[in-house]
Structure 1
Amino acid sequence: MKIVHVASEMFPYVKTGGLADVVGALAQALAQKGHEVTVFLPGYRAVLDHPEVAPLLQRTRRLRIQMGDMFMTGDVREFTPEPNLKICLICREEFFDRRAPYGNGERDYEDNHHRFIFFCKGVVEVMRLYEIDADVVHGHDWQAGLLPLLLRSAEQRHGLNLAMHTVHTIHNIAFQGLFPMRSFYRTNLPKEFMGIDGVEYYGQASMMKAGLLFADRVTTVSPQYAKEIQTSEYGCGLDGVVQTRAEDLVGMVNGIDSAIWNPATDARLPATYSASDLAGKTACRKALLASQGFDPEFSGTVFGMVCRLTEQKGVQFVLANQAFFVREEVRLIVLGAGDAALEEQMQLLAAEHPGKVAYKGALDENLSHLVEAGSDFFLMPSLFEPCGLNQMYSQVYGTVPVVTRVGGLLDTVTDIDSDPAAGTGILVEATDEGVGKGLQRALALHGDRSAYAAVQQRGMARDFGWATATAAYEAFYAELMG
Structure 2
Amino acid sequence: MARTSSLMVTSEAFPLAKSGGLGDAVTGLARALSRAGVDTGILMPAYRGVLDRVVGIRHIAHLAGMPGGEATLVGALCPESGLPFYLLCNPGLYDRDGLYLDEQGQPYADNAVRFAALAHAAMRVAAGLPGMRRPDILHAQDWHAGLVPLLVRAAGLRYVKTVLTVHNLAFQGSFELECAGQIGVPGAYCTDDGARLHGRINFMKAGLRYADRITTVSRNYAREIMTPEFGCGLDPLLRARAADLAPIPNGIDDALWNPASDPHLGHLCYSARNPARKSRAKAALQKAFGLHPDQGAALLAMGSRLTSQKMADVAVEALPDALHRHPSLQVAIIGRGERQYEIELEALAARYPGRCAVRIGYDETTAHRLHAGADMLLHGSRFEPFGLTPLYAMRYGAVPIASRVGGMADTIVDPGEREGSQAMLAATGILFDGDGAPDMGHAIDRALRLYAQPAIWRSMQRNGMACEFGWNTAAQPYLDLFENMVDAPRRGRVPAPTIRPAPLPAYARSSLDGMPAPAAY
- TM-score w.r.t. the length of structure 1 is 0.94
CA distance in 2, matches of 1:179, 1:351: 43
**For residue 90 of structure 1, what is the aligned residue in structure 2?**
88
Q: 1:237 aligns with which of 233, 239, 256?
A: 233
CA distance in 2, matches of 1:331, 1:48: 44
Corresponding residue SS for 1:333: strand
CA distance in 2, matches of 1:447, 1:326: 16
Corresponding residue SS for 1:209: helix
> What is the CA distance between 1:56 and its match in structure 2?
4.1
Q: 1:7 aligns with which of 6, 10, 15?
A: 10
> What is the CA distance between 1:298 and its match in structure 2?
4.4
**For residue 372 of structure 1, what is the aligned residue in structure 2?**
371
> What is the CA distance between 1:395 and its match in structure 2?
1.2
Deviations 1:241-285 (A, max 9, x none): 211111111111111111101111111113211111024311111
**For residue 202 of structure 2, what is the aligned residue in structure 1?**
206
**For residue 427 of structure 2, what is the aligned residue in structure 1?**
423
Query: Whose relative contact order is higher, 1 or 2, with alpha carbons under 8 Å and at least 6 apart?
Result: 2
- TM-score w.r.t. the length of structure 2 is 0.87
**For residue 80 of structure 1, what is the aligned residue in structure 2?**
77
Moved more, 445-454 or 81-90: 81-90
**For residue 102 of structure 1, what is the aligned residue in structure 2?**
100
Q: What do you get for the CA RMSD once the two structures are aligned?
A: 1.8
**For residue 440 of structure 1, what is the aligned residue in structure 2?**
445
The amino acid of 1:410's aligned partner reads A
Q: Structure 1 stretches (4+) deviating beyond 6 angstroms?
A: none
The amino acid of 2:86's aligned partner reads C
> What is the CA distance between 1:416 and its match in structure 2?
2.0
**For residue 291 of structure 2, what is the aligned residue in structure 1?**
294
Corresponding residue SS for 2:86: strand
The amino acid of 1:79's aligned partner reads A
1:116 aligns with 2:112: no
Moved more, 347-356 or 433-442: 347-356
Corresponding residue SS for 2:215: strand
**For residue 396 of structure 2, what is the aligned residue in structure 1?**
397
Corresponding residue SS for 1:424: coil
Uncovered stretches (5+) of structure 1, i.e. residues with no partner: none
**For residue 216 of structure 2, what is the aligned residue in structure 1?**
220
Corresponding residue SS for 1:186: coil
The amino acid of 1:137's aligned partner reads L
Equivalenced residues, count: 471
**For residue 334 of structure 1, what is the aligned residue in structure 2?**
333
**For residue 275 of structure 1, what is the aligned residue in structure 2?**
272
Change (3 A) 1:280 1:79: farther
Map residues 143-292 of structure 1 onto 2, 5 A cutoff: 143-154=144-155, 156=156, 160=157, 162-270=158-266, 271-292=268-289
Q: 1:22 aligns with which of 22, 25, 41?
A: 25
Moved more, 191-200 or 57-66: 57-66
CA distance in 1, matches of 2:202, 2:134: 28
**For residue 380 of structure 2, what is the aligned residue in structure 1?**
381
CA distance in 2, matches of 1:56, 1:223: 39
Moved more, 190-199 or 206-215: 190-199
Q: 1:39 aligns with which of 16, 37, 42?
A: 42
**Any conservation in 1 of the 2:282–2:295 contact (CA below 8 Å)?**
no
Corresponding residue SS for 2:119: helix
**For residue 140 of structure 2, what is the aligned residue in structure 1?**
139
**Any conservation in 1 of the 2:180–2:186 contact (CA below 8 Å)?**
no
CA distance in 2, matches of 1:287, 1:308: 24
Uncovered stretches (5+) of structure 2, i.e. residues with no partner: 418-422, 488-521
Q: Percent identity?
A: 36
